[in-house]
Amino acid sequence: MPLYKKEEFKDGGILAVWQITENEDELKIIAETPTAEQESIEQMPAHQRRLESYAVRALLTEIFDERVYIGYEEDDSPYIKNTHYKISISHSGEFACIYVHQNTNVGVDIESLSRNFDAVEKKILSDDEQEYLNEKYKQLQLALIWSAKEAIYKLMGERNINFAKQIQIDKFMPHDDEGKLDAIFIDYEGDEHELELFYQIFEGYEMVWVAM
């Protein structure tokens, strides 16, 4: 299947999702991957990882008119070498997504709702977040909190962030299709940064994104 969805926001951000239904050879043709990147992808031992990488390249081909080149920082965060656009990448199962913006840092995360998120509760939630969990919606709340914190982690670009202490997701009740989350990030200087995140739920997956 080609591009699953693409949204262009008023602030200049672009969010795009690819549903991976093609085989590797088909995706390789669609992706139009630069030679050096293709050689790197072909060396990946995991078949699923190669599919995800080609799906990301296919999304870049959909978004940009010119050929763009992906590089990685020392902490493995991606960047586009030949444009001013910032980029965040995520993939899970049959979906890959990217969020790009010309003017500001971005973060995106996608996860399958079939995953069990029970371990997340004690690992990355603050006491306040644990208290507002609703038993009926708990798994969905945990999934969205996890993705929200992952997206914020990518947005901030700081290593060794304590997800429980430095990222607080305000109390919310999840909707079935899409919604908004409010959060606070506390940096190493103790300064608080208010953030607004958005999420969508589709095809058994949830995706959260944020820009600042």
Q: What is the pLDDT of residues 71-101, one digit of tens each?
A: 888 888 999 998 899 999 999 999 999 999 9
Token pair, residue 207, equals 């995706």
Strand pairing report for 78-80 and 178-186: unpaired
Fold that domain 3-103 belongs to in CATH: Ribosomal Protein L22; Chain A (3.90.470)
Taking only the tens place, the pLDDT of each residue in 15-26 is: 999 999 999 999
Secondary structure (DSSP) of 41-61 = HHT-S-HHHHHHHHHHHHHHH
Residue-wise pLDDT tens digits, 159-195: 889 999 999 999 999 998 999 999 999 998 899 999 9
Residues of the chain with CATH 3.90.470.20: 3-103, 110-211
Using alpha carbons only, give the angle 75, 80, 86 rounded to the nearest 5 degrees. 80
Q: So what CATH class is 110-211?
A: alpha beta
Query: Given strand 86-92, what is the order of strands in its sheet?
Result: 3-8, 14-19, 95-101, 86-92
Region for 170 from its dihedrals, namely left if φ exceeds 0, alpha if ψ lies in -120 to 50, beta otherwise? beta
Residue 75, judged by CB atoms within 10 A of its CB (0-12, 13-18, 19+), counts as exposed
CB 56 within 8 A of CB 169: no
Each residue of 27-79: pLDDT tens digit?
Answer: 999 999 888 888 999 999 999 999 999 999 999 999 999 889 998 888 889 99
Q: Is the pLDDT of residue 1 over 80?
A: no
Does the global pTM surpass 0.75?
Answer: yes
